[in-house]
Structure 1
Protein backbone atom coordinates (compact mmCIF):
# COMPACT_ATOMS: atom_id res chain seq x y z
CA UNK A 1 0.00 0.00 0.00
CA UNK A 2 1.22 3.50 -0.82
CA UNK A 3 1.24 6.00 1.99
CA UNK A 4 -2.32 6.21 3.28
CA UNK A 5 -4.29 9.39 2.86
CA UNK A 6 -5.74 10.51 6.22
CA UNK A 7 -8.25 13.32 6.85
CA UNK A 8 -8.24 15.40 10.03
CA UNK A 9 -11.86 16.62 10.28
CA UNK A 10 -12.76 19.57 12.49
CA UNK A 11 -16.16 18.99 14.09
CA UNK A 12 -17.38 22.50 14.69
CA UNK A 13 -17.95 25.61 12.62
CA UNK A 14 -18.49 28.14 15.41
CA UNK A 15 -16.72 31.47 14.99
CA UNK A 16 -15.17 31.11 18.47
CA UNK A 17 -14.22 27.46 18.14
CA UNK A 18 -11.11 25.96 19.75
CA UNK A 19 -10.90 23.22 17.08
CA UNK A 20 -8.25 24.93 14.97
CA UNK A 21 -5.61 24.50 17.67
CA UNK A 22 -5.87 20.74 18.31
CA UNK A 23 -6.63 20.01 14.65
CA UNK A 24 -3.50 21.81 13.48
CA UNK A 25 -1.48 20.14 16.25
CA UNK A 26 -2.58 16.56 15.43
CA UNK A 27 -2.22 17.28 11.70
CA UNK A 28 1.39 18.41 12.15
CA UNK A 29 2.10 15.55 14.60
CA UNK A 30 0.82 13.00 12.06
CA UNK A 31 2.70 14.58 9.15
CA UNK A 32 5.95 14.51 11.16
CA UNK A 33 5.74 10.70 11.33
CA UNK A 34 6.39 10.55 7.59
CA UNK A 35 4.26 7.44 7.00
CA UNK A 36 0.97 9.04 5.95
CA UNK A 37 -0.36 11.92 3.89
CA UNK A 38 -2.61 14.11 6.02
CA UNK A 39 -5.14 16.75 5.01
CA UNK A 40 -6.96 19.15 7.31
CA UNK A 41 -10.70 19.28 6.51
CA UNK A 42 -12.84 22.17 7.75
CA UNK A 43 -16.60 21.63 7.81
CA UNK A 44 -16.94 25.39 7.22
CA UNK A 45 -15.97 24.60 3.62
CA UNK A 46 -19.01 22.29 3.31
CA UNK A 47 -22.06 24.31 4.48
CA UNK A 48 -24.63 21.55 4.11
CA UNK A 49 -28.23 22.08 5.21
CA UNK A 50 -29.61 19.78 7.88
CA UNK A 51 -30.07 16.36 6.29
CA UNK A 52 -33.28 16.40 4.26
CA UNK A 53 -32.61 13.89 1.49
CA UNK A 54 -35.02 11.15 0.43
CA UNK A 55 -32.70 8.57 2.00
CA UNK A 56 -29.05 7.82 2.69
CA UNK A 57 -26.78 8.06 -0.33
CA UNK A 58 -26.32 4.30 0.09
CA UNK A 59 -29.80 3.99 -1.45
CA UNK A 60 -30.63 7.24 -3.29
CA UNK A 61 -28.28 9.75 -4.93
CA UNK A 62 -27.91 12.96 -2.93
CA UNK A 63 -29.45 16.05 -4.49
CA UNK A 64 -27.60 18.77 -2.55
CA UNK A 65 -24.53 19.91 -4.51
CA UNK A 66 -22.47 20.75 -1.40
CA UNK A 67 -23.25 17.33 0.07
CA UNK A 68 -22.17 15.64 -3.16
CA UNK A 69 -18.90 17.61 -3.03
CA UNK A 70 -18.53 16.48 0.62
CA UNK A 71 -19.09 12.83 -0.32
CA UNK A 72 -16.40 13.06 -3.00
CA UNK A 73 -13.97 14.57 -0.48
CA UNK A 74 -14.70 11.88 2.14
CA UNK A 75 -14.16 9.15 -0.48
CA UNK A 76 -10.59 10.36 -1.13
CA UNK A 77 -9.32 9.13 2.25
CA UNK A 78 -8.16 5.82 3.67
CA UNK A 79 -8.85 6.85 7.27
CA UNK A 80 -10.02 9.70 9.47
CA UNK A 81 -9.10 11.60 12.60
CA UNK A 82 -12.10 13.42 14.05
CA UNK A 83 -11.28 16.43 16.22
CA UNK A 84 -14.42 16.90 18.26
CA UNK A 85 -15.69 19.29 20.84
CA UNK A 86 -18.18 18.05 23.39
CA UNK A 87 -21.49 19.91 23.23
CA UNK A 88 -23.99 18.90 25.91
CA UNK A 89 -22.41 15.44 26.27
CA UNK A 90 -22.36 14.72 22.54
CA UNK A 91 -20.77 15.76 19.26
CA UNK A 92 -21.58 19.04 17.53
CA UNK A 93 -24.67 18.90 15.28
CA UNK A 94 -22.66 19.93 12.22
CA UNK A 95 -20.46 16.84 12.57
CA UNK A 96 -23.47 14.53 12.96
CA UNK A 97 -24.96 16.13 9.86
CA UNK A 98 -21.72 15.61 7.91
CA UNK A 99 -21.61 11.96 8.99
CA UNK A 100 -25.21 11.47 7.87
CA UNK A 101 -24.61 12.92 4.41
CA UNK A 102 -22.21 10.12 3.47
CA UNK A 103 -22.41 6.38 3.92
CA UNK A 104 -20.50 4.19 1.44
CA UNK A 105 -17.64 6.71 1.53
CA UNK A 106 -17.00 5.93 5.23
CA UNK A 107 -17.41 2.15 4.98
CA UNK A 108 -14.61 -0.19 6.03
CA UNK A 109 -12.18 2.56 6.94
CA UNK A 110 -10.64 3.40 10.34
CA UNK A 111 -11.44 6.39 12.52
CA UNK A 112 -9.50 7.93 15.40
CA UNK A 113 -10.77 10.63 17.75
CA UNK A 114 -9.28 13.65 19.47
CA UNK A 115 -11.76 15.11 21.95
CA UNK A 116 -11.70 18.23 24.05
CA UNK A 117 -13.85 19.67 26.81
CA UNK A 118 -14.40 19.42 30.53
CA UNK A 119 -13.85 15.64 30.59
CA UNK A 120 -11.65 15.53 27.52
CA UNK A 121 -14.60 15.22 25.21
CA UNK A 122 -14.90 11.60 26.40
CA UNK A 123 -18.69 11.47 26.20
CA UNK A 124 -18.70 12.96 22.69
CA UNK A 125 -15.95 10.59 21.58
CA UNK A 126 -17.85 7.59 22.94
CA UNK A 127 -20.96 8.56 20.98
CA UNK A 128 -18.88 9.32 17.89
CA UNK A 129 -17.37 5.84 18.06
CA UNK A 130 -20.87 4.32 18.11
CA UNK A 131 -21.79 6.36 15.03
CA UNK A 132 -18.60 5.22 13.33
CA UNK A 133 -19.54 1.59 13.93
CA UNK A 134 -22.96 2.19 12.35
CA UNK A 135 -21.19 3.73 9.33
CA UNK A 136 -19.03 0.56 9.10
CA UNK A 137 -15.87 2.30 10.26
CA UNK A 138 -13.38 0.75 12.68
CA UNK A 139 -12.71 3.18 15.54
CA UNK A 140 -9.34 2.96 17.27
CA UNK A 141 -9.25 2.01 20.92
CA UNK A 142 -6.95 4.86 21.90
CA UNK A 143 -7.90 8.49 21.51
CA UNK A 144 -6.46 11.81 22.54
CA UNK A 145 -8.35 13.81 25.18
CA UNK A 146 -7.67 17.43 26.16
CA UNK A 147 -9.45 17.71 29.46
CA UNK A 148 -10.34 19.87 32.42
CA UNK A 149 -7.83 22.49 33.41
CA UNK A 150 -5.61 21.70 30.41
CA UNK A 151 -8.45 22.49 28.03
CA UNK A 152 -9.30 25.75 29.79
CA UNK A 153 -5.64 26.82 29.93
CA UNK A 154 -5.26 26.13 26.20
CA UNK A 155 -8.57 27.85 25.39
CA UNK A 156 -8.34 30.90 27.65
CA UNK A 157 -4.63 31.36 28.29
CA UNK A 158 -3.17 30.13 25.02
CA UNK A 159 -1.23 27.19 26.47
CA UNK A 160 0.52 25.18 23.76
CA UNK A 161 -1.02 21.74 23.35
CA UNK A 162 2.33 20.00 22.97
CA UNK A 163 3.25 21.05 26.53
CA UNK A 164 0.53 18.82 27.99
CA UNK A 165 2.34 15.96 29.73
CA UNK A 166 0.24 13.07 28.40
CA UNK A 167 -0.85 14.17 24.96
CA UNK A 168 2.15 13.16 22.83
CA UNK A 169 2.20 9.59 24.14
CA UNK A 170 -1.53 9.18 23.51
CA UNK A 171 -1.17 10.62 20.02
CA UNK A 172 1.62 8.18 19.13
CA UNK A 173 -0.47 5.21 20.26
CA UNK A 174 -3.60 6.47 18.52
CA UNK A 175 -1.77 7.06 15.24
CA UNK A 176 -0.04 3.66 15.46
CA UNK A 177 -3.47 2.03 15.82
CA UNK A 178 -4.88 4.14 12.99
CA UNK A 179 -2.03 3.07 10.69
CA UNK A 180 -2.50 -0.61 11.55
CA UNK A 181 -6.22 -0.47 10.84
CA UNK A 182 -5.69 1.62 7.71
CA UNK A 183 -3.36 -0.99 6.23
CA UNK A 184 -5.48 -3.96 7.34
CA UNK A 185 -8.72 -2.52 6.02
CA UNK A 186 -7.15 -1.35 2.74
CA UNK A 187 -5.89 -4.88 2.14
CA UNK A 188 -9.29 -6.33 3.00
CA UNK A 189 -11.11 -3.87 0.71
CA UNK A 190 -8.68 -4.68 -2.12
CA UNK A 191 -9.16 -8.43 -1.71
CA UNK A 192 -12.96 -8.14 -1.84
CA UNK A 193 -13.12 -6.03 -5.01
Structure 2
Protein backbone atom coordinates (compact mmCIF):
# COMPACT_ATOMS: atom_id res chain seq x y z
CA UNK A 1 0.00 0.00 0.00
CA UNK A 2 1.20 3.50 -0.85
CA UNK A 3 0.70 6.04 1.92
CA UNK A 4 0.46 9.73 1.02
CA UNK A 5 0.47 12.53 3.59
CA UNK A 6 -1.38 15.77 2.91
CA UNK A 7 0.91 18.12 4.82
CA UNK A 8 -0.80 21.27 6.03
CA UNK A 9 2.07 23.74 5.94
CA UNK A 10 0.61 26.76 7.74
CA UNK A 11 0.15 27.11 11.49
CA UNK A 12 -1.32 30.61 11.43
CA UNK A 13 -4.56 31.10 13.41
CA UNK A 14 -7.43 31.52 10.95
CA UNK A 15 -5.45 29.86 8.14
CA UNK A 16 -7.22 28.98 4.92
CA UNK A 17 -5.03 25.90 4.59
CA UNK A 18 -7.18 23.75 6.87
CA UNK A 19 -10.06 23.91 4.40
CA UNK A 20 -7.70 23.31 1.50
CA UNK A 21 -6.16 20.22 3.15
CA UNK A 22 -9.62 18.81 3.90
CA UNK A 23 -10.63 19.35 0.27
CA UNK A 24 -7.46 17.61 -0.97
CA UNK A 25 -8.06 14.63 1.30
CA UNK A 26 -11.75 14.40 0.38
CA UNK A 27 -11.14 14.72 -3.36
CA UNK A 28 -8.29 12.20 -3.19
CA UNK A 29 -10.83 9.72 -1.87
CA UNK A 30 -12.37 9.71 -5.34
CA UNK A 31 -9.11 8.67 -7.01
CA UNK A 32 -9.39 5.08 -8.33
CA UNK A 33 -6.27 3.90 -6.46
CA UNK A 34 -7.62 5.28 -3.19
CA UNK A 35 -11.05 3.78 -3.75
CA UNK A 36 -9.47 0.38 -4.42
CA UNK A 37 -7.38 0.54 -1.25
CA UNK A 38 -4.03 0.56 -3.06
CA UNK A 39 -3.35 4.09 -1.80
CA UNK A 40 -4.31 5.92 1.38
CA UNK A 41 -4.16 9.62 2.18
CA UNK A 42 -3.98 11.29 5.57
CA UNK A 43 -3.85 14.94 6.64
CA UNK A 44 -0.73 15.77 8.65
CA UNK A 45 -1.13 19.15 10.35
CA UNK A 46 2.08 20.89 11.42
CA UNK A 47 0.13 22.63 14.17
CA UNK A 48 -0.40 19.25 15.86
CA UNK A 49 3.33 18.71 16.35
CA UNK A 50 4.35 21.88 18.15
CA UNK A 51 7.79 21.97 16.58
CA UNK A 52 9.91 24.83 17.96
CA UNK A 53 12.54 26.57 15.88
CA UNK A 54 15.07 23.87 15.05
CA UNK A 55 16.61 22.90 18.38
CA UNK A 56 18.49 19.67 17.65
CA UNK A 57 22.23 19.96 18.42
CA UNK A 58 23.19 17.33 15.81
CA UNK A 59 22.49 18.03 12.11
CA UNK A 60 19.47 16.12 10.80
CA UNK A 61 21.61 14.27 8.24
CA UNK A 62 22.99 12.12 11.06
CA UNK A 63 19.53 11.01 12.26
CA UNK A 64 20.49 11.36 15.92
CA UNK A 65 17.47 13.04 17.48
CA UNK A 66 17.55 14.11 21.10
CA UNK A 67 14.12 15.72 21.38
CA UNK A 68 10.81 13.91 21.76
CA UNK A 69 9.06 16.28 19.34
CA UNK A 70 11.66 15.46 16.68
CA UNK A 71 11.29 11.73 17.18
CA UNK A 72 7.52 11.99 16.88
CA UNK A 73 7.84 14.05 13.70
CA UNK A 74 10.43 11.60 12.34
CA UNK A 75 8.21 8.57 12.93
CA UNK A 76 5.29 10.29 11.21
CA UNK A 77 7.16 11.33 8.08
CA UNK A 78 9.05 8.03 7.83
CA UNK A 79 5.73 6.18 7.58
CA UNK A 80 4.73 7.81 4.28
CA UNK A 81 5.74 7.12 0.67
CA UNK A 82 4.69 10.45 -0.79
CA UNK A 83 3.33 13.87 0.04
CA UNK A 84 0.96 16.60 -1.05
CA UNK A 85 2.25 19.85 0.42
CA UNK A 86 -0.52 22.38 1.06
CA UNK A 87 1.12 25.78 1.30
CA UNK A 88 0.24 29.45 1.22
CA UNK A 89 2.65 32.03 -0.14
CA UNK A 90 4.28 34.30 2.42
CA UNK A 91 6.41 37.10 0.98
CA UNK A 92 7.27 35.22 -2.22
CA UNK A 93 8.09 31.97 -0.35
CA UNK A 94 6.87 29.25 2.01
CA UNK A 95 5.78 29.72 5.64
CA UNK A 96 8.64 29.59 8.11
CA UNK A 97 6.87 26.78 9.99
CA UNK A 98 6.97 24.56 6.90
CA UNK A 99 10.64 25.25 6.13
CA UNK A 100 11.48 24.58 9.78
CA UNK A 101 9.57 21.28 9.76
CA UNK A 102 11.42 20.12 6.66
CA UNK A 103 14.78 21.08 8.17
CA UNK A 104 14.17 18.96 11.29
CA UNK A 105 14.61 15.76 9.24
CA UNK A 106 16.71 14.41 6.40
CA UNK A 107 16.70 10.67 5.65
CA UNK A 108 12.97 10.39 6.33
CA UNK A 109 12.31 12.49 3.21
CA UNK A 110 14.57 10.53 0.87
CA UNK A 111 13.33 8.87 -2.32
CA UNK A 112 9.73 9.89 -1.91
CA UNK A 113 7.44 11.79 -4.26
CA UNK A 114 5.61 15.06 -3.71
CA UNK A 115 3.13 17.38 -5.33
CA UNK A 116 1.78 20.77 -4.34
CA UNK A 117 -1.51 22.51 -3.68
CA UNK A 118 -0.88 26.19 -3.10
CA UNK A 119 -3.09 29.15 -2.38
CA UNK A 120 -2.75 32.90 -2.08
CA UNK A 121 -3.34 36.15 -3.92
CA UNK A 122 -1.32 34.79 -6.84
CA UNK A 123 -2.28 31.18 -6.21
CA UNK A 124 0.81 30.52 -4.11
CA UNK A 125 2.88 29.63 -7.17
CA UNK A 126 6.00 31.45 -6.01
CA UNK A 127 5.99 29.50 -2.75
CA UNK A 128 5.99 26.29 -4.78
CA UNK A 129 8.99 27.51 -6.79
CA UNK A 130 11.00 27.75 -3.56
CA UNK A 131 9.56 24.55 -2.13
CA UNK A 132 10.71 22.54 -5.15
CA UNK A 133 14.30 23.70 -4.54
CA UNK A 134 14.11 22.94 -0.81
CA UNK A 135 12.71 19.45 -1.34
CA UNK A 136 15.33 18.66 -3.98
CA UNK A 137 17.96 19.03 -1.25
CA UNK A 138 16.28 16.34 0.87
CA UNK A 139 16.00 14.02 -2.13
CA UNK A 140 12.28 14.26 -2.77
CA UNK A 141 11.12 13.87 -6.38
CA UNK A 142 8.57 16.58 -7.14
CA UNK A 143 6.02 16.03 -9.90
CA UNK A 144 5.35 18.52 -12.65
CA UNK A 145 1.60 18.91 -12.13
CA UNK A 146 0.37 21.17 -9.35
CA UNK A 147 -2.81 22.85 -8.16
CA UNK A 148 -2.93 26.61 -7.56
CA UNK A 149 -5.87 28.25 -5.78
CA UNK A 150 -6.02 32.04 -6.22
CA UNK A 151 -7.80 33.44 -3.18
CA UNK A 152 -10.13 35.79 -5.06
CA UNK A 153 -11.41 33.15 -7.50
CA UNK A 154 -11.38 29.94 -5.44
CA UNK A 155 -12.77 31.32 -2.16
CA UNK A 156 -15.92 33.26 -1.39
CA UNK A 157 -16.07 35.88 1.36
CA UNK A 158 -18.94 37.29 3.36
CA UNK A 159 -17.04 40.54 3.94
CA UNK A 160 -14.09 41.49 1.73
CA UNK A 161 -13.18 44.29 4.14
CA UNK A 162 -12.61 41.87 7.04
CA UNK A 163 -8.99 40.62 6.97
CA UNK A 164 -9.78 37.92 9.55
CA UNK A 165 -12.40 36.26 7.34
CA UNK A 166 -10.75 33.10 5.91
CA UNK A 167 -13.52 32.73 3.38
CA UNK A 168 -15.08 29.50 2.15
CA UNK A 169 -13.18 27.32 -0.30
CA UNK A 170 -15.15 27.03 -3.54
CA UNK A 171 -12.76 25.44 -6.05
CA UNK A 172 -13.62 25.65 -9.72
CA UNK A 173 -14.68 22.52 -11.60
CA UNK A 174 -11.24 22.21 -13.20
CA UNK A 175 -9.42 21.92 -9.87
CA UNK A 176 -10.37 18.39 -8.85
CA UNK A 177 -9.32 16.84 -12.19
CA UNK A 178 -6.02 18.72 -11.86
CA UNK A 179 -5.58 17.33 -8.35
CA UNK A 180 -6.33 13.77 -9.44
CA UNK A 181 -3.85 14.07 -12.32
CA UNK A 182 -1.21 15.25 -9.85
CA UNK A 183 -2.00 12.27 -7.62
CA UNK A 184 -1.50 9.96 -10.62
CA UNK A 185 2.03 11.32 -10.91
CA UNK A 186 2.78 11.14 -7.18
CA UNK A 187 1.58 7.53 -7.01
CA UNK A 188 3.63 6.55 -10.08
CA UNK A 189 6.81 8.18 -8.77
CA UNK A 190 6.32 6.80 -5.26
CA UNK A 191 6.10 3.34 -6.78
CA UNK A 192 9.14 3.84 -8.99
CA UNK A 193 11.21 4.99 -6.01
CA UNK A 194 10.15 2.16 -3.71
CA UNK A 195 13.32 0.07 -4.29
CA UNK A 196 15.45 3.01 -3.23
CA UNK A 197 13.36 3.53 -0.09
CA UNK A 198 13.67 -0.13 0.77
CA UNK A 199 17.45 0.18 0.45
CA UNK A 200 17.37 2.80 3.20
CA UNK A 201 18.31 6.50 3.31
CA UNK A 202 21.46 7.62 1.58
CA UNK A 203 24.60 8.10 3.63
CA UNK A 204 25.55 11.58 4.87
TM-score normalised by L of structure 1: 0.90
Residue 148 of structure 1 deviates from its aligned partner by: 4.7
Contact 2:110/2:197, CA 8 A, preserved across alignment: no
Residue 183 of structure 1 deviates from its aligned partner by: 0.7
Q: Distance in 2 between matches of 1:19 and 1:148?
A: 11
Residue 174 of structure 1 deviates from its aligned partner by: 0.6
Q: Distance in 1 between matches of 2:166 and 2:79?
A: 35
Question: What RMSD, in angstroms, separates the aligned Cα atoms of the two structures?
Answer: 1.7
Matches within 5 A, 1:46-57: 46-57=49-60
- Show CA shifts across 1:147-173 (max 9, x none): 152145367552522xx1321221121
Q: Which deviates more from structure 2 when the two are superposed, residues 19-28 or residues 145-154?
A: 145-154
Q: Distance in 1 between matches of 2:131 and 2:81?
A: 18
Structure with greater helix percent: 1
Matches within 5 A, 1:46-85: 46-59=49-62, 61-85=64-88
Q: Distance in 1 between matches of 2:114 and 2:139?
A: 10
Unaligned runs of 5+ in 1: none
**Secondary structure of 2:51's match?**
coil
Matches within 5 A, 1:17-166: 17-33=15-31, 34=35, 35-59=38-62, 61-153=64-156, 157-161=167-171, 164-166=172-174
- Runs of 4+ in structure 1 off by over 6 angstroms are none
Q: Distance in 1 between matches of 2:58 and 2:84?
A: 26
Q: How many residues align?
A: 188
Residue 56 of structure 1 deviates from its aligned partner by: 2.3
Matches within 5 A, 1:166-177: 166-177=174-185
**Secondary structure of 2:27's match?**
helix
**Secondary structure of 1:126's match?**
helix
- Show CA shifts across 1:41-78 (max 9, x none): 11111111101322322225122211110011000001
Tell me: CA distance 1:47–1:148, structure 2 relative to 1, closer, same or farther (3 Å).
closer
Unaligned runs of 5+ in 2: 158-164
